[in-house]
Amino acid sequence: MPEQDKRTNALSIVTRIAALFIMAVLVVLFFAFAKPVGPPAEAQTAATAAQQTVVGKDCQQCHRIIVQSFALDTHGKSAKFLKDSRGAKCEVCHANSDKHAETSTKTTSKGDVGNPGKLGSAEANQSCLQCHAMDRTHFSWRGGKHDRSDMSCLSCHNVHHVKLLGRAWAHLADTPEREAAEIINTKLPEKMLTSFSVEETCLSCHIERRKDFFQRSTHLFRTELRNMKVGCTSCHNPHGGEGGKMLVDLTVNNVCYTCHAEKRGPFLWEHPPVRENCLNCHSPHGSSNPKLLTARVHLLCQQCHIHMLPRHSTTAGKPLDIFSINRGCANCHGQVHGSNHPGGRTFGR
């Protein structure tokens, strides 16, 4: 190897060692200075303390499963972080629970502990609304049809809903926390409902709606994954909606337009009953006629357009057949919701 190359080689080794050394110093310096940055020590310990506090520590020895499952639920999780009055601690909903915890034994309950589940609906609701009255979805609860029907939040919600798991919930206490959380989050209904789905919750009272699920034409169909695509709460707000019948919008048509926007128009040729109310021809839930219609097409149209036979006798030889076959009147009047075609006065195109 030539002398020149050897020297440059030696030089580059020296520079490399030097570079490594400087880097090492920098790393040490970085950690030395980085440490004090971040949350102040006292805030850090406060945060870990909050996470370690078990909501209902004093209740655990006698209500072990309730306390353990509560920690994994929305209320329990929020109580860990919310220090203000929105933190849902046991005593917020259960009056006198301190005295009860001190005086009770494992088998006898003492101290007259409050239980919203045993209160009248007005009082039970009050125990929930102390925090939830300001939720956007609850603005119209008071005075809504459900409120006026003497129902309570507990008609549809179950705070300790882990009980829904039936006998299986007894084993939850022995399940590792991660797995238990998994069960609570996936096996139990969302929003702490009393049934396993929104629909089942509603049907427990509105049994007359169950048939809609099985009708020839229905809004209440499921996807391949068996999820509801359109469910009760797509159109209704169970806490009291804006419009009549607790609808989520002020008018029926506005509710329908949220998904069927193309029916909103404006159209060059309007069909008055469509503008007025979709329910002039459709039932919102389910129907034994196609397309959710309230009657077979020709009968439906002739509720308003009487004496159509003479007017149509020239269009075909046998008007009766063309009226009832296939899509009926819609065979020719296909744009019943309105037309933008210059020649669409009779909704033929």
Q: Given the complex with ligand HEC, which of 183 and 256 has the nearer CB atom?
A: 256
Q: Which of residues 116-175 bind ligand HEC (CB under 6 A)?
A: 116-118, 125, 127-132, 135, 137-138, 141, 145-146, 149, 151, 153-160
Q: Which of residues 310-329 bind ligand HEC (CB under 6 A)?
A: 311-312, 315-316, 322-323, 327-329
Residue from 246, 286, 289, 339 in contact with ligand HEC (CB under 6 A)? 246
Q: Which of residues 11-50 bind ligand HEC (CB under 6 A)?
A: none
How far apart are alpha carbons 114 and 92 in whole angstroms? Answer: 10
How far apart are alpha carbons 168 and 130 in whole angstroms? Answer: 33
| Nearest of 263, 266, 230 to residue 248 by alpha carbon | 230
The first and second tokens of residue 244, run together, are 């009549």
Residue from 236, 267, 286, 289 in contact with ligand HEC (CB under 6 A)? 236
C-alpha 248: how far from chain center? 13
Q: Given the complex with ligand HEC, which of 63 and 175 has the nearer CB atom?
A: 63
How far apart are alpha carbons 164 and 170 in whole angstroms? Answer: 11
**Is there binding between residue 292 and ligand HEC (CB under 6 A)?**
yes
Q: Is 131 exposed, middle or buried (0-12, 13-18, 19+ CB in 10 A)?
A: middle
**Angle CA 214–334–302, to nearest 5:** 75
Q: Given the complex with ligand HEC, which of 119 and 175 has the nearer CB atom?
A: 119
**Is there binding between residue 298 and ligand HEC (CB under 6 A)?**
yes
How far apart are alpha carbons 101 and 110 in whole angstroms? Answer: 8
Q: Which of residues 213-232 bind ligand HEC (CB under 6 A)?
A: 217, 219-220, 229-230, 232
**Is there binding between residue 69 and ligand HEC (CB under 6 A)?**
no
How far apart are alpha carbons 151 and 289 in whole angstroms? Answer: 35
User: 254-283 mask for ligand HEC (x: CB under 6 A)?
Assistant: -xx-xxx--x-------xxxx---xxxxx-
Instruction: Give least dist CB 26 to ligand HEC, A.
Output: 45
